[in-house]
Amino acid sequence: MEVNIIDLMDWKKRLEINVPYEDLVAKIKAAYNKYKKAIQLEGFRKGKVPLDLIKKVYGTKIEREAAEESMSEYLEQAIDDHQIKFHDLLKVDSVDFNKKDGLSFKATIHVEPDIELTHYKKLQTEKEVYQVTDEDVTKAIENLREQHATMSDVEGEAQPGHYLVADLQETDATGHPLIGNKYENRYFQLQSGNIDDNNITNQLLGIKTGESRQVSITETQNDKSSIKYYTVTVKEIKQKSLPDIDDEFAKDVGDFENLQTLKDQIFQKLNDNAQMNYEQKLNNNLISEVIKNNPFELPDFLIESYLNAFIKNLKSHNQQQNVDELEIRQKYRADAIWNLKWRLIRNKIAELENISVDEKDVDEFIEHLAANAGEDSAKIRRDYRDQQQRDRLRLELLEQKVIDFLKEHSKIKEIKVTYQDMQKQSEMVEQ
């Protein structure tokens, strides 16, 4: 096979491929055998037509079809032989086939751009370090306590802290119901502490089960206030009881010998989560730093291809919802550029520093996962027999090796972070 490569742009090439007829003989023979079983001509039973007659009647068509069907195979071989960073196929044209010259065709392809890295060592960034405190464990215990609270019915008047199950009927200012604006079995808590006169809690204090009251609520929207009126009919009044924090509580919430065992596990879990969270933030900081220090432009086709795949995946997981493609493209374009630049940089660093992942690395990681999976170990081994799963894992391992390399060759300053700092950061991300 002869291959002539023409660079059309930094990220576009044309491959002119010529395959001699003798290289196609085996494929053509297989095609004849396939057709021989299916062809039926007058005077012959199906599958019994002589090969010479098939060649005479259908030979040109069968041979050309066999040759053209092999084009993708020869294109893939050319890409591998010449170590081309293939991205996608644009078109195939100028296809020709005859017994003298064999098969020839031209393929125009997109390739991933080859980038130059000037600064990926001696990066400077920060790593947040969070030390779990007794206060953190106490807060986690209180959350568990809330989760295992029990609710009981209250006889008599509703007080601050009680929970109401009630029907709400919206009315006009005179108390006449607005048809269609009834909300049944609404569940809410009467607040404790400072309560202003407009608060619904203040208007419902002392109400009993089965009783109805007219309340008003001031709502503000777009800097404009309006008053809404409701008739509230109480169906149930409940109070919450929190369990005592003792050894029995520890046994109730899980398989813990005593309260100290529960606290120890909470401490370990909080510590593991904090370290994992800040390790991921460090990874992202390093990636952002290496992207900033090695600026280059991405071709539009890469960005569009990424967003197309993202939207396709989004649609497959939101089959009942309309996806605004334009909004998605605008919202996630910056993320697409960040991820694509990192992918190119990651691969280039791996190339320059001879970082690779072999089958042994993949198998060892799978065994590590399986060894820590308990009953799911067999499923993990079974899942990773799939080649796509293994390829995906190989990329993840390569990425981790490259990030580890960056860490080893960077100056990382540790910054101590408090529980309050971590909470504020989480709230900012959620917003």
Residues 6+ apart with CB under 8 A from 310: 328, 332, 336
Q: Say how many residues make up the chain.
A: 431
Pair 20, 5: CB distance under 8 Å = no
Please tell me the total count of domains within the chain. 3
Q: What does the DSSP 8-state code read for residue 113?
A: P
- The answer for 336, left when phi > 0, alpha when psi is -120 to 50, beta otherwise, is alpha
User: Looking at the structure, do residues 96 and 176 belong to the same domain, yes or no?
Assistant: no
User: Looking at the structure, do residues 196 and 265 belong to the same domain, yes or no?
Assistant: no
> CA-CA distance, 280 to 292, in Å (whole number)?
18
Integer CA distances (angstroms), 327 to 7, 234, 301, 337, in order: 35, 45, 19, 16
101-132 tens-digit pLDDT: 999 999 999 998 889 998 999 999 988 888 88
Please indicate, yes or no, if residue 285 is contained in any of the structural domains: yes
Percent of the chain with pLDDT over 90: 59
User: Looking at the structure, do residues 21 and 80 belong to the same domain, yes or no?
Assistant: yes
Strands 12-19, 102-111: parallel, antiparallel or unpaired by DSSP?
A: antiparallel
Q: Is the pLDDT of residue 220 over 90?
A: no
User: Looking at the structure, do residues 224 and 266 belong to the same domain, yes or no?
Assistant: no
User: Looking at the structure, do residues 208 and 80 belong to the same domain, yes or no?
Assistant: no
CATH no. for residue 69?
3.30.70.1050
Name the token pair of 33.
């055998």
Name the token pair of 430.
């959620």
- The answer for 219, left when phi > 0, alpha when psi is -120 to 50, beta otherwise, is beta
> CA-CA distance, 39 to 46, in Å (whole number)?
6
pLDDT of 375 reads 65
Among 206, 221, 241, give the residue marking a domain's end. 241
Q: Which of 8-12, 42-46, 148-152, 306-310 has the lowest mean pLDDT?
A: 42-46
CATH no. for residue 175?
3.10.50.40
Please indicate, yes or no, if residue 377 is contained in any of the structural domains: yes
User: Looking at the structure, do residues 253 and 237 belong to the same domain, yes or no?
Assistant: no
66-75 tens-digit pLDDT: 999 999 999 9
Confidence of residue 316 (pLDDT cuts 50, 70, 90): confident
Residue 98's domain comprises: 2-111
Pair 89, 76: CB distance under 8 Å = no
φ/ψ (deg, to 5) at 291 = -65, -45
> CA-CA distance, 374 to 221, in Å (whole number)?
53
User: Looking at the structure, do residues 229 and 257 belong to the same domain, yes or no?
Assistant: no
pTM of the model: 0.71
- CB count within 10 Å of CB 158 equals 23
